[in-house]
């Protein structure tokens, strides 16, 4: 049977954010927005959802006089992402069992 997919990570933008964060130590909001092409408002909502789930840590501060939001994936987020990737792999490997 197919493994369940984490509905939080099954969103294209949230998956993109997690994919970025899994490969870097941390990333600021502007960098993530540039990589995803998302609007600031939509990205902000999705980052909040990932943060509420404990998948990412969000630190807000200032760089000079400008506000800066920096995101970092948590251990819980790494486990969730790896579980999601493994579940997708199980979908792709379905014919190998026959």
The domain that holds 81 is classified in CATH as 1.10.10.10
H or E stretch at 91: helix 75-92
Whether residue 1 is contained in a domain is answered as no
Q: Report the SS3 class of residue 72.
A: strand
- What does DSSP say about strands 56-63 and 66-73: parallel, antiparallel, or unpaired? antiparallel
> Among 51, 53, 52, 86, which Cα is nearest to 72's?
51
Whether residue 97 is contained in a domain is answered as no
Range of the domain at 77: 12-92
Single pTM value for the model: 0.89
Position 4 scores a pLDDT of: 87
Whether residue 37 is contained in a domain is answered as yes
Cβ contact 33:69 at 8 Å: no
Position 12 scores a pLDDT of: 96
Number of domains in the chain: 1
Whether residue 7 is contained in a domain is answered as no
Whether residue 4 is contained in a domain is answered as no
Which residue stretches of the chain have pLDDT < 50?
none
The rounded distance, in Å, linking the Cα atoms of 96 and 13 is 30
Q: Report the SS3 class of residue 39.
A: coil
Position 96 scores a pLDDT of: 59
């Amino acid at each position: 049977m197919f493994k369940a997919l984490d509905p939080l990570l099954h969103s294209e933008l949230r998956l993109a954010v997690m994919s970025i964060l899994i490969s870097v130590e941390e990333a600021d909001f502007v960098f993530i927005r540039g990589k995803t092409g998302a609007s600031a408002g939509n990205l902000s909502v999705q980052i909040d959802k990932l943060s509420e789930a404990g998948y990412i840590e969000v630190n807000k501060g200032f760089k000079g006089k400008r506000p800066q939001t920096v995101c970092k994936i948590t251990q819980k987020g790494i486990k969730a992402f790896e579980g999601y990737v493994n579940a997708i792999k199980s979908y792709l490997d379905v014919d190998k069992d026959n």
